[in-house]
Each structure stands twice: as C-alpha cells, then as structure tokens.
Structure 1
Amino acid sequence: MSELLAVQAEGLTKRYGALTAVDGISMRVAQGEVYGVLGPNGAGKTTFLRMLFGLIRPDAGQLEVFGRTWAEHGTAALDGVAGFIESPRFYPYLSGRRNLQLLAGLDGGSGADRIEEVLEVVDLTGREGDKVAGYSFGMRQRLGVAASLLRDPRLLVLDEPANGLDPAGIRDMRALVKRLAASGLTVLLSSHDMDEVEEICDNVTIMKRGSVAYHGTIADLRRQAPPQAHLLRTNDDTAALALAGRADVSVSAADGQLAVHGQQTAIDAYVADVVGSGLAIRSLTLGEAPLESLFFMLTESAPATTATPAHTDLEEATR
C-alpha cells in the first residue's frame, strides 16, 4: 500500500454564521481501503464531502487528496477522484446508456469506451436501453456509481449510497461496494447506518455535531462495544428482577421490560430459573446489536471533544 494518503484532513473547519458544521476534524484515508464516515443526520458528513469535492471551501484547516490541495492545484486536485453527493441526477427521458454517453462527453470523452464495462460492473446490463424514468431508486443509485466509474478513478466517494433503498437494494449496493474494493479501488463513503459500515468498511470516523467522536478500525470498535442484552418480559417483572441475585447476570428494568446482560450460559440459567419459579415469560428478544448500542452512546452523549488521533479510546471519545 502506498504511503501517499488518498485523503488527509487536518483541523478542517466549516462555519455557517453561528453554526459550526465541521469543527476541526482530522482524517486519514489510506489507498486501497474502504473508509466510512458515520454519524446521524446533521453530524457534518455531507459538509465534509462537499469540501473534499471543492463545492465549498473550509474556513480553517487543510484538506489533501492524493497530496493535492484546492489552493495549489485547483480542479486538478480531483484527478483520479469520482463520486456523488446525496443522490445522483439523470435525464429521466433518456436511457441509462445515453445518460452515460452525455456525461462521458462532458468529461472530455475519455470514458466513452468504458460505458459497457461499467454497466456490467453495476449490474445494469440488459437495462441500459431503458429510460431512467423507469428505473427503481436502487438502479439510479447504481447508475450513479457507473457514471463515477467512467473516469476510472483511484478514489470513489459515495454519500450515503444505500439511503432510501429497500432491503434488496441495500444488499445489492453493499455487494457492489465490496466488489469495487476488491479491485483495489479506494472507497470513502458516508452513512448513518452502523450495519452498513460494519459490513463493508475497514476504518471509520464517527462524527457528532461536526466533531469527531471516534477514529479507528472496525475491529477496535467491536472490542469496545457493550455486550448485547436479552430483553425479557414476564407476567411479574418485579419478581423476575429479584431472581437476578441468584444468577451470574446483570438485570435492569427499562421501558417496561428487563435487560439481561451476561454470558449466554448464565442467561440460559437465569431464564430457566424464572420459568422454574412459576413465572410466565411473555417475550424474550435480543436488544440492539453491540455496535449499534455503541454508536448511540458515542453520538447521543455529551458534546464531542476536539478531534483526536486514530484509535481513540471509548472513555476519551464519550467524555
């Protein structure tokens, strides 16, 4: 892997009057990785991507793409970069292929000979002659990726590519990103879906109200995640809670049910004890996935601190 970073942001800040949309964030995206920028709506993800594409300029800080900056290189800073912000737009009365032909022409024509190839990559072969007006939302998203691939980029930037898709569309988009990453392409994507980021990303930056709440690998994030709870409802939760003292589990009452934490064998024994005591179990379900719970802990806690280097500890990130 090259030592030259695909994206390097240092102290990047963007303000709109009294609102600080991006507050001194730092980020390093290595070539060849899939990097996720995660956060709830309003966290500053799209603002960061707009600065990367040069659509808006930062008020402070430095942003380099393959070692180039907008101040020194102008539009050449985006050589080897492609992608889209929010949802891609096309002429609905033209076919998918014709839209790509027009876009290739606007970009100098060099991508015209790649149209059939990129249509196959995004699984639109056979539908390329249909008008875009008849495409599903997921097909239009995939056509947007195809348009980006016409430039044969080294870095592909996608802004919430699975947002608004149905389950089948989400599955197809994730599979597409995985295929692109396997080809050696660097992918930087934003998302508010922890499942999406966990499945396809190598590293992640979690943002909260414009600041960095966490930098690190998905593996490190998993290690910091709390254990998954089992959610229990009985005909007498007070009596069931009292039984916790006889088992090696932690049980707490919340939202009209009991949250049970512990090793699976201990939870099994506790549930058996509840049944053996004569209580009726109304429901037993799994709570939030561990990474989802951690995501909410990081993004719904007290205001974020100043951005810190990669591999921030959970205790520091949630202060």
Structure 2
Amino acid sequence: MAAGRGEQPVRAGEPGLGVVAGRSWPRDGVRTLDGVAGFIESPRLYPGLSGRRNLQLLAGLDGLDGAAATRRVDEVLDTVDLLGRDREKVRGYSFGMRQRLGVAAALLRAPRLLVLDEPANGLDPAGIRDMRALVKRLAGSGMTVLLSSHDMAEVEQICDDVTIMRAGQVVYHGSIAGLRDQAPAPAHRLTTTDDDRAAALASARGLAVEPAAGGLAVRGDEHALDALVADLVGAGIGLRGLAMSETPLEALFFMLTEHAPDAPTAGLSRAAAISGARR
C-alpha cells in the first residue's frame, strides 16, 4: 500500500491487466516483474537455517557471492533491524522477526516496487509497531511500497494515498487528505442510561441513529453531536460514552463496498492503499 512519488509505478491497463513501470505482461512477459519484489501473507523460509544463511542462499540465486553477497546481506539485515539475531535459526524467530526477514529477502534485489500483503497480520502489538515503522522507513527512502491491508486504521497511519476496490474495480483513489474531505461522517457509539430517549433527541438533531451492541450508532455532523451531548445533560440522561467507532476511511470504505449497488459481501471486499516518500 505504499508508493514513492515521481512516476506512477503501477497503473490500470487493459481489463484484467496491469502496467508496472511502463511494462505489461502481454508485451514484456516476465520482464514486467523486473525491479519488483515482495511476499504474500507470510514469507517461506528454511526453519533449520539461520536468518543470514537463508538470505545468503537467496543472494546466490541472484548471482551474488563473496564480499558482494556479504555486503548486501548485511545491508538488508540492518534495514529490518535483525543484525545481532541473524545467526539464530529461523525456527526460533518470533512471527514478527520472520516477517521482517521476509522483507529483508525481498530487499536483496534492491527493488523499485515492494509488494506487501497484510505484513502486520497476526503480529502482537510490538510486532505491528515495528512493521509499520519499517514500512514508513522504506517508503521514506524513496522506494515504492504497495501495501494491501484490511486494517483501515493502519492505512490512515502509514499511507499517503489510498485505493479502495470493489469486485476487482477501483471505486475510490486519492490522497488521505482528500479522503478525509470527501468521506461521509463516521459512526459514533453512544451509550446512555436511556437509549430510547437519547435516540429521539438524536433524531431531532438530524442525526442518523440505529441500534448497536451496547448502545446506539449515531452518524452525522459533529456540531449536531456536540449539541446532542448538551441535550442529554439537559434532559437528565446519563452519558456513559461517546466514541468514534469507525474512522473516516472506514466510513468511505463501507459506503463504497457495502452500501453501493451490487456490492459484494464484506468477506469479498478488499482495500489497498498506496503511500510513500515525499520528494
């Protein structure tokens, strides 16, 4: 989900096709993937070998050996913060360390485009933090990073531009800043001591209200929400909680993928985002 600025590395081509850095599969064949690296879901590694040995084998497949291979392996291990743990066997690595070693393997070829699919999926909080920081560093170096994620909060934190897809078609593409301007009002979860009366007051303020687990889902203008809080207090209704339950990006995603005509089920919906270094 990340892309460095400058040329557009990936763009729409003919139906079902893509153009990568000016190349397409029908015309250029396997050369379309020159300068492209990454992994889908989780990298495949030899668990009985060390992280360094895994990378040495991959470097050898690319024709690197001797001092050149050692230098490049050291560079990518340093980039993903695995120097010092690189001589340990991969079977002893945490899931997050294996994900970062997978990124290191992809970086061996010094790609122009790095493709990562859910790289933080399944990680603990520390692993998620480290992976997000790594993606930001890579994008900040000028590399193009294309990141696929279902975590809208993650997309908002690390991406500059976002693309939302429905049934294989792009239904939104633009900057995160533009998204915040165009996105519908996000839902807030409201909990009170009298949800029936609270719902009536919210409706009177022009807010959309529907039942939600443990309270109400309220959507509308933030000034109307502010006024609703005052209304609740004035009516003697206890306010137990009012918190945003979805981000602006999630609100737009749901609108485009679930509420649009012929939208697929949520299980088929996917989101991809593009972010990268400012030059």
2:157 to 170, 182, 199: 199
Tell me whether 1:100 sits opposite 2:58 in the alignment.
Answer: no
Residue 173 of structure 2 is aligned to residue 218 of structure 1: no
Alignment partner, residue 252 of structure 2: 294
Which consecutive residues of structure 1, in runs of 5 or more, have no partner in the other structure?
Answer: 14-61, 306-319
**How far off its partner does 1:193 sit?**
1.6
**Matched residue of 2:38: which SS?**
strand
Q: Could you tell me how far 1:2 is from its partner in structure 2?
A: 8.5
What does residue 24 of structure 1 align with? none
Shift of 1:252: 1.8
Give the Å deviation of 1:217. 2.0
Counterparts of 2:262 and 2:238 in 1: how far apart (Å)?
43
SS in 1 for 2:15: strand
Say which structure, 1 or 2, has more relative contact order (CA 8 Å, 6+ apart). Answer: 2
Q: CA deviation at 1:107?
A: 1.6
Counterpart of 2:148? 190
Partner residue of 1:153?
A: 111
* Matched ranges for 1:77-156 at <5 A: 77-109=32-64, 112=69, 113-156=71-114
Contact 1:205 1:216 in 2 (8 A): yes
The size of the alignment, in residue pairs, is 256
Q: Would you say the 8 A contact 2:206–2:224 is kept in 1? A: yes
Distance 1:163 1:271, change over 3 A: same
**TM-aligned CA distance change 1:183 to 1:211, over 3 Å:** same
Q: Which residue of 2 aligns with 1:309?
A: none
Contact 2:11 2:18 in 1 (8 A): yes
Alpha-carbon distance, 1:266 to partner: 4.7
Taking only the aligned residue pairs, the percentage that are identical comes to 64
CA shift, 1:263, in A, is 5.4
Residues 1:241 and 2:244 aligned together: no
Q: CA deviation at 1:250?
A: 1.9
Q: Which residue of 1 aligns with 2:211?
A: 254
| Shift, 1:106, TM fit | 1.1
1:178-231 Cα offsets, whole Å, 9 max, x none, are 111111111112111212222222222211222222222222221121223432
Counterpart contact for 1:241–1:258, Cα < 8 Å = yes
RMSD value, Cα:
2.6
CA distance 1:234–1:304, shift in 2 (3 Å): closer
* Equivalent residue, structure 1, for 2:271: none
- TM-score, normalization: structure 1? 0.72
In structure 2, the partner of 1:7 is: 10
Q: Which runs of 5+ in 2 are unaligned?
A: 265-279
Distance 1:228 1:131, change over 3 A: same
Quick check: 1:249–1:261 contact (8 Å CA) kept in 2? no
Within 1, Cα distance between the matches of 2:109 and 2:21?
16
Once the two structures are TM-superposed, the CA of residue 264 in structure 1 deviates from its matched residue by 5.0
Say if 1:65 and 1:239 are closer, same or farther in 2 by CA, change over 3 A: closer
Structure 2 partner of 1:303: 262
Matched residues in 2 for 1:114 and 1:294: separation? 42
Structure-2 separation of matches of 1:185 and 1:172:
18
AA paired with 1:253?
E
